[in-house]
Amino acid sequence: DTGVSQDPRHKITKRGQNVTFRCDPISEHNRLYWYRQTLGQGPEFLTYFQNEAQLEKSRLLSDRFSAERPKGSFSTLEIQRTEQGDSAMYLCASSPRTSGTYEQYFGPGTRLTVT
C-alpha cells in the first residue's frame, strides 16, 4: 500500500501526559498537512509543511502542539501536557507539488482519547 500512513491508529492517554503521532506521506509528495477532526465536525487545518519547512500554522495550534518534518519525509505531531479537549482524530494528508490545483490524500488518522 503506497498511501498515507499514520501511527498509532489509536492512543489513550491520561491528562497531562505527552503524546507523539507519526505520519508517513506518499513518497513523492513534498507537501504534508495536519488536521484535527472532532466528533460531528469536518477536519480543521492545523499546519502544513513544504519539504522540511513548516510554512503555516493555524491559531488552533497552541504552544502545547509542535510539528516537525526533519528530513522532508515523515512528520511528527507532539502534544505536550494533554488536556481532555485535545481528544479528537488527528489526520495527516499529503499532496504533490504540481502546477495547478491538486488534491490532498489523507491517511486513516490517529484517534486520541485523553482521560
Partner 1 sequence: AQSVTQLDSHVSVSEGTPVLLRCNYSSSYSPSLFWYVQHPNKGLQLLLKYTSAATLVKGINGFEAEFKKSETSFHLTKPSAHMSDAAEYFCVVSDLYNNNDMRFGAGTRLTVKP
By DSSP bridging, strand 10-13 and strand 19-24 are unpaired
74 binds partner 1 per the rule CB under 8 A: no
Grid coordinates representing 97 are 507539488
Stretch of 15-23, 59-67, 74-82, 96-104 contacting partner 1, by CB under 8 A: 96-104
25 binds partner 1 per the rule CB under 8 A: no
Tell me if the bond preceding 8 is cis, omega within 30° of 0. yes
Q: In the complex with partner 1, which residue's Cβ is closer, 44 or 83?
A: 44
33 binds partner 1 per the rule CB under 8 A: yes
Cα distances (angstroms) measured from residue 98 to each of 31, 58, 115: 10, 24, 42
Stretch of 18-26, 66-74, 76-84, 102-110 contacting partner 1, by CB under 8 A: 102-110
Asked if 105 and 94 count as a contact pair (C-beta separation under 8 A), the reply is yes
- Choose which of 19, 46, 91, 114 interacts with partner 1 (CB under 8 A): 91
108 binds partner 1 per the rule CB under 8 A: yes
User: What is the distance between the alpha carbons of residues 92 and 108, in angstroms, rounded to a whole number?
Assistant: 8
Asked if 7 and 92 count as a contact pair (C-beta separation under 8 A), the reply is no
Contact residues toward partner 1 (CB under 8 A) are: 3-4, 31, 33, 40-45, 48, 55-56, 91, 93, 95, 100-109
